[in-house]
Amino acid sequence: MDEHQKGFLTEVLNTGAQRAGAVLGELVQRHVNLSVPDVDICPVADLPGHLSLFQNDQVTSVTMGFSGVLSGDAVLLLSGFSGILLTQRLMGGATDLAEVQEEKQEAISEVGNIVVNNFVGAWAEVFHDRFTFGLPQFEECGLNELLDARISGDGKQRTHAIWANAHFDVSEFFIVGTLLTLFDQASVERLVGAVSSSQAAR
């Protein structure tokens, strides 16, 4: 990917990330601080090095497969206690930890569903294509375990990640996370091609 393609891709992913951040803000009724995505293509094996913030703790994640002109997995990744803090917020500040824990999987899965749909759905307009989505998959585990499962868990080899490190935080509630997309090699090549076509059409 050359610098122009990378710039265009950053713009596309940023559009998705902005929408995802805005919808998350609506859910928690607070401003969400969002970085401009740091976009790169790297082997999935190198991802943990880019995600040092998430390496030492258990992560809470929601993964959704998507297909269309591009196919892959989009992952909402929440660090440490962010999953429980986000659930607590969605439950109106509930203080009964057992109750919050019980609702967490359902609540975070739905947040993942909404955020990922906004993140990936925004690309549909750019690529003039429609994406279809799988069901949200909730997981709580270490980062390496999560990535291992995503790389080969469904038999599809996700060799590369477009890591749109759209880091966000709702500082008031100590909620920190990122959005990742994982593609197989063929989709990475299609993505670079699609970016070139979209640039040419401008």
Partner 1 sequence: MAKVLVIDDSRFQRKWIVKAVQQLGHCTVEAVDGRDGLGMLDAERPECITIDLNMPEMNGLEFLENLQAQNLRPPVIVITADIQKDTREQCRLLGASAFLNKPFKPGELHDALAKCIDLESKDGV
Question: What are the residues binding partner 1 (CB under 8 A)?
Answer: 19, 23, 26-27, 90, 103, 106-107, 109-110, 113-114, 116-118, 121-122, 124-125, 130-131, 133, 135
The answer to whether 181 and 74 have CB atoms below 8 angstroms apart is yes
Nearer to partner 1, 22 or 53 (CB): 22
Question: Closest CB to partner 1 among 120 and 188?
Answer: 120
C-beta of 188: minimal distance to partner 1 in Å? 23
Residues 6 or more apart whose Cβ sits within 8 Å of residue 139? 60, 61, 62, 63, 146, 149
Q: How far is the CB of 36 from partner 1 (least distance, A)?
A: 21
Residue 17 near residue 116 (C-beta atoms within 8 A): no
Contact call for residues 127 and 202 (beta carbons, < 8 A): no
Closest CB to partner 1 among 44 and 136?
136
> How far is the CA of 188 from the CAs of 25, 65, 70, 163, 182, in angstroms?
30, 15, 8, 12, 9
Nearer to partner 1, 26 or 96 (CB): 26
Instruction: Tell me the closest approach of the beta carbon of residue 137 to partner 1, in angstroms.
Output: 12
Q: Phi/psi of residue 153, each to 5°? A: -60, -35
Instruction: Report the residue number, 35 or 113, with the smaller CB distance to partner 1.
Output: 113
Distance of CA 101 to the CA centre of its chain: 22
**How near is the Cβ of 106 to partner 1 at its closest, in Å?**
4
Least CB distance from residue 28 to partner 1, whole Å? Answer: 10
